[in-house]
Structure 1
Amino acid sequence: MTTLLGYNTNGLAHHDLFDAVELLAEIGYRSVAITIDHGALSPREDWRGQLRRLRSTLQRLGLRSAIETGARFLLDPRAKHEPTLVSPDPAARARRIEFYRHAIRCAAELESSCVSLWSGVPRPEALRRARMEREAASSRPSKTPGVPPDAGVPPEAIPDAETMRLLAAGLEEVLEYASESGVIIGFEPEPGMVVDSMARFAELLALIDSPNLKLTLDIGHLQCQGEVPIPDQIRRWSSRLVNVHLEDTRRGRHEHRMFGEGEIDFPPVLQTLAEVGYQGAIHVELSRHSHEAPEAARRAFAFLQPLTQRMGASHG
């Protein structure tokens, strides 16, 4: 197995996009997870010209790419990560879907491995009101795929059923556009969001599935959520893997830490990725290290490169 080490540009937030790409290539990374953000393929800017230049730059440097969509304040300057696919307001959800279409267009042009996305943070009270208002205006109760009719749903369960309904409906639109564009969607379970774990991802797959719906697996999130042993999760989901995020962390704490500052035992993780034949990139995600980005990127590479070389030698 030849492992492609990559780095997420959300860890170089203070760098020009092209300076960041050049820096990562100089260090030795062979893939870049490009987080669309202000100054980086933002739909509000001259993204088409930037995209053409980026395609040329990646080709010149021999880098592969993935498109990431987790910018904090790109769509709403006042609310982190908003709006999302589970926002109660239909117009807000439509803005998120249109942003994902933009990301898919970028991925198609760059021939990226995937567009990585997540579900969003639940807003239970707002969702309960939205659902009840919709039902009051309807001649019959609405139905959520995989969920019993509303008459049989306890009031406390309505918000969760509604979030999954909204998520499945929005994701279906995104997947349809991705399929037409020849782009894979890598869904990432994210702590604190509606789909925050592999167990919740399995619930989502019971509602909606598509050949274009794959998995972005964040190794740190598994540790954070207590979904261990991590190698077992890799084996279980190996057929879905299209993108891997890597950082250190501690159980119960959603903090992306430098390697060696958390609890994860990385050799078995990389060994298992090799054993299951994972051919995609492993992208370091140190999203809170932009203030020391060059040094952080070098330290991460120095830690991981010897490990991935050993894994490649034993499974080449």
Structure 2
Amino acid sequence: MQFGFSTNAFREYQLEDAIEAIADAGYDGVELLLDEPHLYPPNATDEERERVEEVLDTHGIAVSNGNAFMLTAIEGFHHPSYIEPDEEYRQKRIDYTLAALETAADLGLPYISIEPGGPIPDGKSREWAMDTFVESLEQVIPTAEAVGVDLLVEPEPDLLIETGDEFLALLERVDSERVKCNFDAGHFYCVGEDPAELVEPLWEHTRHYHLEDIPADRTHEHTQLGDGAMDIDAFLGELEDRGYDGFVTVELYPYEETPIETAREAMAYLEERGWA
């Protein structure tokens, strides 16, 4: 398998410098944050996209994933979401996703990761939220199919889709092969699931994996590899046993004050354990 590191830990850095640092740390890939301050699709120019390609080529590193989950350019990680009660506000997330699909296609990326609906609004039922998420996806799926880029829904604690079963239930309502899973091992661990055991039921639907450690109390805190309680070896071993040769991206965005050291330490952990 190949390992990437996400530039969402490098929000205090220029994208070019983040790519260079991640390549220097020994990673095969870099997850591009499709948001400010890096490459924000609604405002991205041809020149900016070409420059990203040049920098990637210069440092001999691939793109592991296009991260279209965070949206701090408008408000934050989770808002606007695909299930906002205000239709105009919800449309901002939809329009952003459409732009992210176009940018990903221009860069030759096979997929982008997206928010799993969002936080269920106060006063709204889960049923309403699921219906609204499906309706939102139906607005972006035609573009995903037209440009050949998959939409990887990323289950997350406290959002509409948290568990493996909830993701599979979503697939039953979506008629498109372009909707797949961004399997975040730490997120599943937070909600009481065993990431290693979940690989099999989600295998055929997963295009990309996120990895971070999580504290023993399963609090949703992205923690340096080896500093938490997850059985990372069991999870990566399951992928290895299945012959997975795609990307596992280390996502440690809380470490934005020390991203270079954090990336290097995570790679050192993977190398010491024999994974990289």
Task: Confirm or deny a common fold (TM above 0.5).
Answer: yes
Deviations 1:244-271 (A, max 9, x none): 1000003431000011211112211111
Conserved in 1, the CA contact under 8 Å of 2:155 and 2:163? yes
Matched, 1:91 2:88: yes
Confirm or deny: 8 A CA contact 2:171 2:179 kept in the other structure. no
Q: Among 89, 97, 100, which residue is 1:100 paired with?
A: 97
* Aligned twin of 2:62: 64
Alignment partners' CA distance in 2, 1:92 and 1:261: 39
Please state if 1:187 is matched with 2:184: no
Write out per-residue CA displacement over residues 54-111 of structure 1, whole angstroms, 9 at most, x where no aligned residue: 12222333322111023252122xx552111101111112111110011111111222
Identity across the alignment (%): 28
SS at match of 2:160: coil
DSSP 3-state at the match of 1:249: coil
Which residue identity does 1:248 align to in structure 2? Answer: D
Q: Could you tell me whether the CA contact under 8 Å between 1:270 and 1:307 is conserved in 2?
A: no
Quote the residue 2:50 is aligned against. Answer: 52
Of 281, 286, 304 in structure 1, the residue corresponding to residue 247 of structure 2 is 281
1:245 equivalent in alignment to 2:243: no
Check 1:81–1:294 CA distance in 2 against 1; reply closer, same or farther (3 A cut). same
Q: Compute the RMSD of aligned alpha carbons.
A: 1.7
* 2-structure distance, mates of 1:286, 1:268: 20
Q: Secondary structure at the match of 1:237?
A: helix
| Partner of residue 233, structure 1 | 198
Alpha-carbon distance in 2 for matches of 1:80, 1:274: 31
* Larger helix share, 1 or 2: 1
- 1:64–1:112 CA contact under 8 A, matched in 2: no
Q: How far apart, in 2, do the equivalents of 1:300 and 1:113 lie?
A: 25
SS at the partner of 2:257?
A: helix
2:73 alignment counterpart: 74
Which is worse superposed, 106-115 or 240-249? 106-115
Given that residues 55 and 109 in structure 1 are in contact (C-alpha distance below 8 angstroms), is that contact kept between their aligned partners in structure 2? no
Q: Secondary structure at the match of 1:5?
A: strand
Q: Is the 8 A contact 1:243 1:281 kept in 2?
A: yes
2:32 paired residue among 31, 34, 49: 34
Query: 2: distance between equivalents of 1:200 and 1:177?
Result: 24
Displacement of 1:309: 4.1
Bigger radius of gyration among the two: 1
Q: Distance in 2 between matches of 1:114 and 1:44?
A: 17
Separation in structure 2 between the aligned mates of residue 178 and residue 201 of structure 1, nearest angstrom: 19
Query: Counterpart amino acid of 2:151?
Result: I
Shift of 1:46: 4.5
Structure 1 residues 218 and 61, CA gap change in structure 2 (3 angstroms): same
**Equivalent residue, structure 1, for 2:257:** 291
Partners of 1:209 and 1:189 in 2: CA distance: 19
Matched position secondary structure for 2:214: strand
Does the 8 Å contact 1:248/1:259 carry over to 2?
yes
Aligned length: 273
CA contact (8 A) 1:67 1:112 kept: yes
Any residues of structure 2 matched to 1:245-264 within 5 Å, and which? Answer: 245-250=210-215, 251-264=217-230
Deviation at 1:44, TM superposition (A): 5.5
Q: Secondary structure at the match of 2:227?
A: coil
Alignment of 1:213-224 (within 5 A): 213-224=179-190
Q: TM-score, normalised by structure 2?
A: 0.93
Unpaired runs of at least 5, structure 1: 128-158, 311-316
The CA distance in 1 between the partners of 2:45 and 2:39, in whole Å, is 5
* Cα distance in 2 between the residues matched to 1:194 and 1:175: 19
| Structure 1 residue 13 displacement after superposition | 1.1
Q: Does the CA-based 8 Å contact 1:39-1:45 persist in structure 2?
A: no
Query: Contact (CA 8 Å) 1:122, 1:163: kept in 2 or not?
Result: yes
Aligned residue among 107, 111, 116 for 2:113: 116
Structure 1's 305 and 96: CA in aligned 2 closer, same or farther, altered over 3 A?
Answer: same
Aligned residue for 1:124, secondary structure, equals coil
After superposition, where does 1:262-277 map in structure 2 within 5 Å? 262-277=228-243
